[in-house]
């Protein structure tokens, strides 16, 4: 992963917060909190993950994808198109 | 949350696995793993979260929602319809 | 489908607008419009469909689902839970 | 939209089928069909739209996006990254 240190550290901080949110979910279940509150917390963890995925996807476009398309290698370009479609539409599932 | 102990423990195990998956994501970022692999891992954490949400949603329908609709209290029923729609469509966002 | 006439007519109007949006998409493709504009139009048709689905889902909760849960028939309740989960999570796919 | 005639015609056929599906939805509502059947039909129209969007997105990557990234024009590349992210994540909403 081609990524400058600041961006990498920012992503790690996002992931540590998400880890904390998941532990928070565990406490909510242990404390028998209302289902609706737990489902709302799950939705916010999903939102945080989606936001993290967007940062990494953008970085991927700017680095690996751009390098592959600029290389002029048609096979590399085809593989890159396949990969982008797969990665992005998997995030919709 | 009205839930029997076995189901609660099964959800806690799911959430502990998700916590482990998120820590795995952190290591992948620290190890500069390929963006595509990291994005795929994010998708599988999303999938685990969605599956956990489905178990809790089903339980919610079988308990709180059913009690509210059977109570005959029209205000309680209205609030329940609002809540189900909000909870479920938030999981789509 | 238990639905009063006004609500049914409002849904039919939504669907006629969506039909018009889809024909608009056809013209955009015939006119070789920019891909990004076409993709944005697809997103707005999806949004209209989701909004229509929400109205019908809410109506379903208020009628068939409530009747089934109030009937006290446990098999009917089980089938209803299965159906709600299937219908709603299919809209996420 | 840079697209060969066969691909354009194939997309037009998809959109005509979707138009037919939407008219089918109108008839189902007029005939007071069961809500669950109508919601399932909405989901299949959503699926057809998503599949059509994927074909156009792939074509967009292979043409406009590739041209912009190969142009070496950094502003064009930035606009292209913004656009891809916007187009794709809008399809998730």
The string of pLDDT tens digits covering residues A34-82 is 999 999 999 999 999 999 999 999 999 999 999 999 998 999 999 999 9
Q: Identify the contact set of chain D against chain A, taking CB-CB distances under 8 A.
A: 50, 54, 57-58, 61-62, 65-66, 69-70, 77, 81, 84-85, 88-89, 91-92
- Residue A92: pLDDT above 60? no
**Residue D23 pLDDT level (bands cut at 50, 70, 90):** very high
pLDDT value of residue C10: 97
pLDDT value of residue A91: 66
Instruction: Report the pLDDT averaged over residues B38-53.
Output: 95
Q: Which residue has the higher pLDDT, C91 or C92?
A: C91
- Closest residue in A to B14 (Cα) is A26
Q: How far apart are CA D88 and CA A88, in angstroms?
A: 7
* Prediction ipTM score: 0.89
pLDDT value of residue A90: 76
Q: How far apart are CA D40 and CA D57, in angstroms?
A: 25
For testing the chain D interface, which of A55, A62, A88, A91 should be mutated: the one with the most D CBs within 10 Å? A88
> CB distance A90–B40 less than 8 Å?
yes
> CB distance D92–A89 less than 8 Å?
no
Instruction: Report the pLDDT averaged over residues C16-28.
Output: 98
3-class SS letters over chain B? CCCCHHHHHHHHHHHHHHHHHHHHHHHHHHCCCCHHHHHHHHHHHHHHHHHHHHHHHHHHHHHHHHHHHHCCCHHHHHHHHHHHHHHHHHHHC
- Residue C45: pLDDT above 80? yes
- Whether the CB-CB separation of C90 and C53 falls below 8 Å is answered with no
Domains observed in chain B = 5-92 (1.20.58.1000)
pLDDT value of residue A5: 94
In this complex, the residue of B38, B40, B59 whose CB is nearest that of residue A1 is B38
For D1, counting Cβ atoms within 10 Å of its Cβ (0-12 exposed, 13-18 middle, 19+ buried), the class is buried
Instruction: Report the pLDDT averaged over residues A23-41.
Output: 96
Q: How far apart are CA B18 and CA B16, in angstroms?
A: 5
Q: Which residue has the higher pLDDT, A92 or D66?
A: D66
pLDDT value of residue D91: 65
Q: Which run of H or of E encompasses C48?
A: helix C35-60
Q: How far apart are CA C72 and CA B76, in angstroms?
A: 18
> CB distance C49–D49 less than 8 Å?
yes
Rg (CA), chain B: 18
**Residue D88 pLDDT level (bands cut at 50, 70, 90):** confident
- Whether the CB-CB separation of B66 and C77 falls below 8 Å is answered with yes
- Residue C25: pLDDT above 70? yes
Average pLDDT of chain B?
Answer: 92
Tokens of A72: 């002029």
Q: Which residue has the higher pLDDT, C15 or B1?
A: C15
B7-34 pLDDT per residue, tens:
999 999 999 999 999 999 999 999 999 9
Tokens of C9: 């007519």
Tokens of C44: 């707005």
Q: Dihedral of CA C14/C19/C23/C26: which sign?
A: positive
**Residue C1 pLDDT level (bands cut at 50, 70, 90):** confident
Q: Which run of H or of E encompasses A93?
A: none
- Residue D1: pLDDT above 60? yes
Instruction: Report the pLDDT averaged over residues D24-45.
Output: 96
Q: How far apart are CA C51 and CA C41, in angstroms?
A: 15
> CB distance D63–C1 less than 8 Å?
no
- Closest residue in B to A2 (Cα) is B32
Instruction: Report the pLDDT averaged over residues D58-70.
Output: 93
**Residue C2 pLDDT level (bands cut at 50, 70, 90):** confident
Chain D neighbors of A88, CB-CB under 8 A: 88
- Give residues with Cβ within 8 angstroms of D8, minimum separation 6: C29, C30, C32, D1
């Amino acid at each position: 992963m081609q990524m400058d240190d600041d961006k990498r550290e920012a992503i790690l901080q996002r992931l540590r917060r998400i880890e904390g949110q998941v532990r928070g979910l565990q406490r909510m279940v242990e404390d028998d909190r209302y289902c609706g509150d737990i489902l709302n917390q799950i939705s916010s963890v999903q939102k945080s993950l989606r936001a993290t995925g967007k940062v990494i996807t953008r970085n991927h476009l700017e680095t690996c994808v751009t390098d592959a398309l600029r290389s002029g290698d048609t096979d590399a370009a085809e593989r890159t198109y396949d990969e982008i479609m797969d990665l992005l539409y998997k995030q919709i599932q």
